[in-house]
Chains A and B, each alone.
Chain A
């Protein structure tokens, strides 16, 4: 899991925004629209990042199609120390 985490965030072009998204979802669960507004990102960009984070087991959603709310998985919570170490310098 930790190798996945550090690659998804520090290894890829979209890593910084994915880190901001995960941090926002840790504060409180949100849907894609709210994330786009709160982080000042394009809606489609947010959807893409959520898909990557979901594919890697980092976030999951409530299942409702449109307003689906996303939150960190239990698995990523178990590795939260690693997450903090990885994202600690991201503004």
Chain B
């Protein structure tokens, strides 16, 4: 069953794109405001970006580990995917609010 594995990979890509957009806005705001609040948001985006970059490596870039990930049984695979999907929903919402 590779559907969950595919959904996870799509969600990782979506997360990375959303975080690039958020990082762009928050980095610009940090340059203008120079406040700890703007810096906090920027660091938040950077850390979540790194988290998803690691996931990208695990799921897609490393040939050995990505094969393991594709072979994870469906029950844990589904939960692993849900972690990615919940994060994507959260980031999509914050991106919508932030783009305002």
Q: Which residues of A contact B (CB under 8 A)?
A: 6-7, 9-16, 19, 52, 85-87, 89-90
Q: How many residues on the B side are at the interface (Cβ–Cβ under 8 A)?
A: 16
Q: What residues on A are CB-neighbors of B100 within 8 Å?
A: 12-14, 52
Number of A-B contacts (CB under 8 A): 49
- Taken together as a complex, chains A and B put the C-alpha atoms of A11 and B41 apart, in Å, by 7
Min Cβ gap A34→B in Å is: 23
Q: Which residues of B contact A (CB under 8 A)?
A: 25-26, 28-30, 32-35, 37-38, 41, 97-100
Is A86 a contact of B33 with CB atoms below 8 Å? yes
- Taken together as a complex, chains A and B put the C-alpha atoms of A59 and B72 apart, in Å, by 54
Q: What residues on B are CB-neighbors of A16 within 8 Å?
A: 29, 32-33
- Taken together as a complex, chains A and B put the C-alpha atoms of A87 and B32 apart, in Å, by 9
- Taken together as a complex, chains A and B put the C-alpha atoms of A7 and B44 apart, in Å, by 14
Min Cβ gap A41→B in Å is: 15
Min Cβ gap A48→B in Å is: 8
